[in-house]
Homo-oligomer: A and B are copies of this chain.
Amino acid sequence: MLSTQDVADRLKAHGILPTQQRLLIARTLFSRDQHLSADQVMHCVNDDKDHVSKATVYNTLGLFASKGLVREVIVDPTRVFYDPNTSNHHHFYNVDTGELRDIEASELAIESLPELPEGTVSEGVDVIIRLRNATETH
């Protein structure tokens, strides 16, 4: 596991005050080198003798994401949108408005697919281009 000092430096470099709980959460994320949901982080952190409350875990992860320390990835299949267009196509997603807009498959080409992990087959490829309104200050 990374040393507490390393992690603390990393937090500071992103303008985050390194408190005990934040260090614990950051070490959990970085040492596992996995993608974890907020809920999973909570369970991992609280498996050990240490304890961090639910609210703090959610707050902290949101803070990390907004400071660019971690990246949010949207892949939860329990929250979906339904698209009447079943053809092979992709999407613009406006993070400011929540608006979703189609991209025709012909407008975007993926050059090379990586090798799939052993024992798996591809179900499909989703490309989501995240947009922000140019005028919004942020």
Contacts and interface: CB of A to CB of B under 8 A. Distances in A.
Contacts of A77: 72, 74, 95, 98
Contacts of A127: 110, 125-128
B82 A38 contact: yes
Contact of A125 (B68, B128, B133): B128
A85 interface: yes
B92 A117 contact: yes
Interface in A111-127: 111-114, 116-117, 119-127
Nearest to A41: B82
A123 B132 contact: yes
Contacts of A33: 84-85
Contacts of A51: none
A82 B61 contact: yes
B122 A130 contact: yes
A12 interface: no
Among A36, A98, A123, A125, which residue has the most Cβ atoms of chain B within 10 A? A123
Contacts of A108: 110-114
A70 interface: yes
A91 to B, nearest CB: 6
A100 B84 contact: no
